């Protein structure tokens, strides 16, 4: 019960912080989203 609710609350907080970061750094938002999705395609050092 409480542990699940706490997990949902932490996940929602992390999602909100992620959205806020993307909004504040709008110029790099696409590369940030790619990084969060696990893509290295936007990284110039990827081989």
pLDDT tens per residue across span 5-45: 999 999 999 999 988 887 887 767 777 777 778 866 655 55
Q: Which residues contact 3 (CB under 8 A, 6 or more apart)?
A: none
* Number of helices followed by number of strands (H, E) in the chain: 2, 0
Predicted TM-score of the model (pTM): 0.54
| Nearest Cα to Cα of residue 11 among 26, 3, 23, 31 | 3
């Amino acid at each position: 019960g409480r542990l699940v609710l706490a997990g949902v609350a932490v996940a929602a907080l992390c999602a909100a912080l992620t959205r806020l970061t993307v909004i504040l750094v709008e110029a790099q938002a696409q590369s940030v989203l790619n990084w969060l999705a696990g893509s290295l395609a936007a990284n110039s050092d990827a081989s």
